[in-house]
Copies of this chain bind each other. A is one copy, B any other.
């Protein structure tokens, strides 16, 4: 019944996508002696991974131990489950936390990624467990992955777009058709048939920039909402998998970044200030009321929903001490005018049109909480090094959510095999990274995306 293909290529393993999940899977499959090929629809490697800040979260690491921090897999499991509103797939979440520490250590020992000597706490995590590579960019990790891929002599075909699966009579994936010399504008290329002896690993990322697809699941997220993703974060590979019977999981759970600025495109420079400084040491103010609106260290969904609910951008504020003591360099955000610096609170209030009296009252109230170690209004955790907003100059930025991450995706089992709605494995098909759904439930915690890519990328590469 089925046509015979003239195969142009034959490999053991084809990896679709060259972000963290794809390259990790390729490396593991290559290390296991497989003949591996990576395809990438863009002209360079890295996908969205390369524009991330590179932050990776894991519990029970040597770096935590060095900094005297206690943590456990169970604690991280609970934090992620809470942020996910209990909707995380328990088997995937358990696999995630069980392997997260090893995944991080693998980037240290095997990839030789250099990390900053600090462990950070971001919203929703109860203890500091987030590690940042030198340069504060995913590119630090990516470069080392690329080096390993080259060492293993794994080719990456750029400008090569996945088109469709080719299955045998029983539905097993036996290969695929891709377009080489892919042209984005005309959406055309040279059809090439690749036979895959062991299988295909999908690591094609999320659909955050795919307005048509994402707005089917969340109609609020039309073209008026920006995204932190690159414009090629689209759904075509995911849809191809659904077409051959893969189960979709929680496609309507789409994360908005609460730390995004409406005053710059893409991810931008503002989020470092908002996420690393304001949320821990500062406050988010509704300019209409001059009041706080949320536990700034709550999970992303809480913060983004709270900002959206005001109907307009809010203002994140931190003082000079917080900026200085954080150790983060926010000069780019200041240079671009995304973060603004004010000598007095009067100037700040005036610039954003906030009633000064209300704002001062809110700040005094927050400072009181910081001093006594208890946020009576929103229950934000107050840490030992927390201080009030007292030392000028004051730093501020407007906040308005952008689509950041798509929690939904393909259903996989613990071996990273893609399964259908009845739990049956689609033979020859694996997936890892953002294209997968279920790990994060309703909302992903900060720095857990890269961990997911590496944990499940390794599993896919080892199991295929």
Q: Which residues of A contact B (CB under 8 A)?
A: 1, 86-90, 212-213, 216-220, 235, 239, 242-243, 245, 247-253, 408, 411, 421-423, 438, 441
Residues of B within 8 A of A217 (CB): 249-250
Q: Are A87 and B218 in contact (CB under 8 A)?
A: yes
Given contacts A216-B411, A216-B421, A411-B216, contact A248 B248 (CB under 8 A): yes
Q: Are A87 and B252 in contact (CB under 8 A)?
A: yes
Q: Are A219 and B252 in contact (CB under 8 A)?
A: no
Complex formed: what's the CA distance from A438 to B251 in Å?
13
Q: Are B88 and A219 in contact (CB under 8 A)?
A: yes
Complex formed: what's the CA distance from A411 to B423 in Å?
23
Q: Are B251 and A219 in contact (CB under 8 A)?
A: no
Which residue of B has the minimal Cβ distance to A86? B220
Residues of B within 8 A of A212 (CB): 421-423
Given contacts A243-B245, A245-B243, contact A89 B251 (CB under 8 A): no
Residues of B within 8 A of A248 (CB): 248, 251
Q: Are A89 and B219 in contact (CB under 8 A)?
A: yes
26 A-B contacts (beta carbon < 8 Å): A1-B1, A86-B219, A86-B220, A87-B218, A87-B219, A87-B252, A90-B219, A212-B421, A213-B421, A216-B247, A216-B249, A216-B421, A217-B249, A217-B250, A219-B441, A239-B421, A242-B242, A242-B421, A243-B245, A248-B248, A248-B251, A249-B252, A250-B251, A250-B252, A252-B252, A252-B253
Residues of B within 8 A of A441 (CB): 219
Q: Are A235 and B421 in contact (CB under 8 A)?
A: yes
Complex formed: what's the CA distance from A245 to B133 in Å?
42
Complex formed: what's the CA distance from A201 to B89 in Å?
33
Residues of B within 8 A of A423 (CB): 212
Complex formed: what's the CA distance from A423 to B213 in Å?
10
What are the nearest 5 A-B pairs in CB distance? A250-B252, A86-B220, A252-B252, A239-B421, A89-B219
Which residue of B has the minimal Cβ distance to A235? B421
Residues of B within 8 A of A88 (CB): 219
> Which one of A212, A217, A245, A411 has the greatest number of beta carbons of chain B within 10 Å?
A217
Residues of B within 8 A of A89 (CB): 219
Complex formed: what's the CA distance from A250 to B250 in Å?
7
> Which one of A216, A248, A251 has the greatest number of beta carbons of chain B within 10 Å?
A216
Given contacts A216-B247, A216-B249, 19 further A-B contacts (CB under 8 A): A87-B218, A87-B219, A88-B219, A90-B219, A212-B421, A212-B422, A212-B423, A216-B421, A217-B249, A217-B250, A219-B441, A235-B421, A239-B421, A243-B245, A249-B252, A250-B251, A251-B251, A252-B253, A252-B408
